[in-house]
Amino acid sequence: MPLGNFRNNYLALKVNFARLNQRINTLAEISPIDGGGNCRLALTDEDKYGRDLLVSWMRELDLEVSVDTVGNIIGVWNVGNGAPVMSGSHIDTVRTGGRFDGCYGVLAALEAIQTCQEAKIAPPRPLAVGIFTDEEGSRFAPDMLGSLVYVGGMAVEQALDVVAIDGARLGDELARIGYAGPAPCPGLLPHAFVELHIEQGPMLEANDIRIGAVTSVQGISWQEVTVLGQSNHAGTTPMSLRHDPAYVAAEITVFLRNLAREFGGDQVCTVGKIDLHPNLTNVVPAKATLTLDVRNTDETLLKLAETKIAEFLRQIATSEGVKISTRELSRFEPVIFDDRVIDCVESIAKQQGNTVQRMPSGAGHDAQMLARVCPSGMIFVPSVKGISHNPAEFTHDADLEAGANILLHTMLALTTLESQDQ
Ligand code: GLV
Ligand code: MN
Ligand code: MN
């Protein structure tokens, strides 16, 4: 069991929450947007400034910092022996992001390490913090790209060639901001991985529970749909003669909404981006490009949703006389976390006097990639009103502090997790 004697000597150990909170606020000063959030799209100048800040903090703690070929930053506190227990997340944001998504997990991992250093604890194996490139996938698809490459799920060359929504090539942007590192990817294999994150949904708050012991992450299917029609005059073209991509995009959006309603359960569907060309008041558009984000905890249902969407796209292409093509942006099956890590999070959360509930994650996370190569899990804290990917994203200090203390003790506990291959 992970809760070995080692950690029992330090049960009262707590993070310095004032310092953690200050770092959260300092990082949020980079690329602020109205409403208290951030715009730090992956591999932009803003991302670079955030990375520079984090690297400087890692160096202050004497961590061994490496940057790999897709820009993942790993800071290792080299104590003990063997593979590190790693924690971490991401510091890139969506265009209208909050200050906690990803950043909280990275900074809490750093704080956990600093707390151990100051308490002169000598864990039996190294502790590490990871900052993974382009978790959001907002600028470069797929999401969780850095951690996917880190675990060998995508070739480095393929990742470097990914083209952003603004036309930039990932490899060029990495080099431009000085984060095309020399460290090999796939990278250092952790002994175990645990990620602390805000829930980004409403369940914990609704149930009046402080901590989520995350059991799984739902499957994600992203595709880009391009609709080509007949551009024409808005005033002179009779409705019966139109081949209108804007109308088709709207029908697809409504279809997804109805599909999610019909499936019920965990099914969610989102059209988050629609671009029209030429995007003018008095022109029936020539083209619509839209993205579909479809998720379910059940892979069979997710596949069924994809099949139904494909059928609908064929039907509407015929009935509206437009051409529709699709491109996969991201596709990940649901992920189940390691029972031992889930148990560990749950028991430590209870031990520290918190209410805790086991729950799946609706959002994608780097931990789901690390789960491919080592025992992994996650800790959630409540998001006020369940709001995230929005500058209004907020979590109360007491919840942030509780989560960070559970992370600290989970990292320590996982240092004594027995390897399955031993
Ligand atoms: C990542 O933030 C996601 O879209 O789940
Ligand atoms: Mn996140
Ligand atoms: Mn996010």
The pLDDT value recorded for residue 7 is 79
pLDDT in tens, 304-361: 999 999 999 999 999 999 999 999 999 999 999 999 999 999 999 999 999 999 999 9
Tokens of 226: 């391009």
Best mutation site among 96, 133, 136, 335 for ligand 1 pocket (most ligand atoms within 8 Å of CB): 136
The pLDDT value recorded for residue 9 is 82
Pinpoint the residues of the chain covered by CATH 3.40.630.10: 7-217+335-414
Low-confidence ranges of the chain (pLDDT < 50): 1-3, 422
The pLDDT value recorded for residue 1 is 40
pLDDT in tens, 366-412: 999 999 999 999 999 999 999 999 999 999 999 999 999 999 999 99
Residue 28: beta bridge partners?
none
Tokens of 358: 């086991």
Q: Other CB atoms closer than 10 Å to residue 421's CB: what's the count?
A: 4
What is the pTM assigned to this prediction?
A: 0.96
The pLDDT value recorded for residue 422 is 39
Tokens of 73: 């930053």
Compute the distance from residue 10 Cα to the ligand 2 centre, in Å: 30
Pinpoint the residues of the chain covered by CATH 3.30.70.360: 219-332
Between strands 85-89 and 127-131, the pairing is parallel
The pLDDT value recorded for residue 8 is 79
Q: Other CB atoms closer than 10 Å to residue 254's CB: what's the count?
A: 11
Compute the distance from residue 40 Cα to the ligand 3 centre, in Å: 11
Q: Other CB atoms closer than 10 Å to residue 262's CB: what's the count?
A: 10
Query: Using a 6 Å cutoff on CB, does residue 143 contact ligand 1?
Result: yes
Query: Using a 6 Å cutoff on CB, does residue 98 contact ligand 1?
Result: no
3-state secondary structure of 55: helix
One-letter amino acid of 17: F
Q: What whole-number distance in Å separates Cα of residue 95 and Cα of residue 301? A: 30
Compute the distance from residue 159 Cα to the ligand 2 centre, in Å: 20
The pLDDT value recorded for residue 419 is 81
Pick the CATH number of 7-217+335-414 from 3.40.190.10, 2.60.40.1250, 3.40.50.300, 3.40.630.10: 3.40.630.10
The pLDDT value recorded for residue 420 is 64
| CATH top class, domain 219-332 | alpha beta
One-letter amino acid of 237: T
